[in-house]
Structure 1
Amino acid sequence: MLYILVSVVCYGQVDKLDFERRLNAAKNDSARAEVYRDALRHYARHNIDSLKYYSDKGIAYFRQRNYRLGEAHIIDQLSIIDQNQGRMDIARQRTQYALSIYRDLNYKPGIATTIGNLGALEAGVGNYENAIKYLIESLKLEETLGNTDVALTGYMNIATIYMQTGDTANSGKYLKIASDMAGKMPLSDKILGLYNMIGVQYAMTGQNEKAIECFLRNLELSDHPSFITAHVESLTYIGQYYLENGQPDKALSYLKEALAMARKNNIPELAANTLQEMAVIIKENDPATAAGLLNEALAIALQMGNKTFMATVYEHQVDVYKRLGKYKEALEASQMRTQVTDSLFATNKTSEINGLLATYELERSNSKVKDLEVKHMKRTAQRNLYLGILLGVGVLFIILFIFTRRSVMLNRKLRAQEAALQQLNGMKDKLFSIIAHDLRGPVARIPVILDIYEDPETPDDEKQFLLDNMRAHTKELIEMLEKLLLWGQSLVKGIMLQKETVNVSTYVMQDLALKKLALEEKDIAIVNKVAGDLNVQADATHFDFIVRNLITNAVKYTHDGGKVEIAADTHIRPGYVVLSVKDNGTGITPDMLTRIFTPVNSTPGTNNEKGTGIGLMLCNEFAILNGGEMWVESTEGKGATFFLALRQA
Structure 2
Amino acid sequence: MKVSLLTYIAIFLLASGCQGQSQPAQDTVHVATHKSITDSAKAHAKNGDTVKALHYHKKALLHTRKHGLQEHEAHSLMHIGILLKGQDTGQSHAYLNKALKIAERLDKHELRANILLAMSSVYKQQQNYKESLATLEAHQKLIQEVFKKHRAEEIAQLHDEETHQRERAIFITVAISLIIVLLIFVYYFRRIKRLNRALSQSNQIKDTLFSIIGHDLRGPAGSIMQALEMVDAGILNQQEEKQIISLLRQQSRSFNETLNTLLNWAAAQLKGAQPQITSVDTLTTIQKSLDLLMAQAAAKDIRIIPPQSNDLPVLADRDQFDFVIRNLLSNAIKFSYPGGQIEITTEKQDRLALIAVHDHGKGIPAEQQRHLFAEGRLNSTFGTTGEKGTGLGLMLSWDFIKANGGRIWFDSREGTGTTFYISLPLAV
Contact 1:504 1:532 in 2 (8 A): no
Is the alpha carbon distance of 1:559 and 1:405 closer, same or farther for their aligned partners in structure 2, counting shifts above 3 Å? closer
How many angstroms does 1:451 deviate by? 5.1
Q: Deviations along 1:528-564, whole A, 9 cap, x unmatched?
A: 2343432112111111111111111111111111111
The within-5 A match list for 1:111-130 is: none
1:477 aligns with 2:251: no
Query: Quick one: which amino acid aligns to residue 398 of structure 2?
Result: N
How many angstroms does 1:492 deviate by? 4.3
CA distance in 2, matches of 1:497, 1:399: 47
- Of 441, 450, 455 in structure 1, the residue corresponding to residue 225 of structure 2 is 450
1:617 aligns with 2:395: yes
1:91 maps to none
How many angstroms does 1:474 deviate by? 3.2
- Of 420, 431, 438 in structure 1, the residue corresponding to residue 212 of structure 2 is 438
Q: Deviations along 1:408-452, whole A, 9 cap, x unmatched?
A: 255235414513531442353134212201111134333466357
How many angstroms does 1:459 deviate by? 2.0
1:541 aligns with 2:314: no
CA distance in 1, matches of 2:405, 2:326: 19
CA distance in 1, matches of 2:345, 2:171: 72
- Of 608, 614, 620 in structure 1, the residue corresponding to residue 386 of structure 2 is 608
1:628 maps to 406
CA distance in 1, matches of 2:392, 2:227: 33
1:489 aligns with 2:263: no
Q: Which runs of 4+ in 1 moved over 6 A?
A: 455-458
CA distance in 1, matches of 2:359, 2:325: 14
CA distance in 2, matches of 1:488, 1:423: 21
CA distance in 1, matches of 2:332, 2:287: 15
The within-5 A match list for 1:197-236 is: none
Is the alpha carbon distance of 1:482 and 1:402 closer, same or farther for their aligned partners in structure 2, counting shifts above 3 Å? same
2:59 maps to none
Query: Quick one: which amino acid aligns to residue 225 of structure 2?
Result: L
- Of 288, 291, 316 in structure 2, the residue corresponding to residue 513 of structure 1 is 291
1:584 aligns with 2:360: yes
CA distance in 1, matches of 2:293, 2:342: 12
* Alpha-carbon RMSD: 3.2
**DSSP 3-state at the match of 2:378:** coil
CA distance in 2, matches of 1:512, 1:457: 38
Contact 2:381 2:390 in 1 (8 A): no
How many angstroms does 1:579 deviate by? 0.9
CA distance in 2, matches of 1:420, 1:634: 32
1:529 maps to 307
2:85 maps to none
CA distance in 1, matches of 2:289, 2:180: 60
1:647 aligns with 2:421: no
Q: Deviations along 1:478-499, whole A, 9 cap, x unmatched?
A: 2222222322332342542111
CA distance in 2, matches of 1:517, 1:398: 75
CA distance in 1, matches of 2:184, 2:205: 32
Q: Which has the larger radius of gyration?
A: 2
Q: TM-score, normalised by structure 1?
A: 0.36
Structure 1 residues without counterparts, runs of 5 or longer: 1-390
Contact 1:589 1:636 in 2 (8 A): yes
1:412 maps to 186
Query: Quick one: which amino acid aligns to residue 202 of structure 2?
Result: K
Is the alpha carbon distance of 1:514 and 1:403 closer, same or farther for their aligned partners in structure 2, counting shifts above 3 Å? closer
**DSSP 3-state at the match of 2:269:** helix
Q: Deviations along 1:78-128, whole A, 9 cap, x unmatched?
A: xxxxxxxxxxxxxxxxxxxxxxxxxxxxxxxxxxxxxxxxxxxxxxxxxxx
Q: TM-score, normalised by structure 2?
A: 0.53
- Of 593, 596, 611 in structure 1, the residue corresponding to residue 372 of structure 2 is 596
Is the alpha carbon distance of 1:561 and 1:469 closer, same or farther for their aligned partners in structure 2, counting shifts above 3 Å? closer
Contact 2:217 2:259 in 1 (8 A): no
CA distance in 2, matches of 1:488, 1:498: 17
Contact 1:497 1:539 in 2 (8 A): yes
The within-5 A match list for 1:80-159 is: none
1:428 maps to 202
Query: Quick one: which amino acid aligns to residue 368 of structure 2?
Result: M
Query: Quick one: which amino acid aligns to residue 195 of structure 2?
Result: L
CA distance in 1, matches of 2:171, 2:289: 72
Query: Quick one: which amino acid aligns to residue 459 of structure 1?
Result: I
Is the alpha carbon distance of 1:448 and 1:532 closer, same or farther for their aligned partners in structure 2, counting shifts above 3 Å? closer
Relative contact order: is structure 1 or structure 2 higher (C-alpha 8 Å, sep ≥ 6)? 2
**DSSP 3-state at the match of 2:325:** helix
Is the alpha carbon distance of 1:413 and 1:608 closer, same or farther for their aligned partners in structure 2, counting shifts above 3 Å? same
Query: Quick one: which amino acid aligns to residue 642 of structure 1?
Result: F
Contact 2:361 2:416 in 1 (8 A): yes
The aligned length equals 257
1:559 maps to 337
Q: 1 or 2, which has the higher strand percentage?
A: 2
Contact 2:412 2:419 in 1 (8 A): yes
Query: Quick one: which amino acid aligns to residue 590 of structure 1?
Result: A
Query: Quick one: which amino acid aligns to residue 439 of structure 1?
Result: I
Contact 2:283 2:307 in 1 (8 A): no
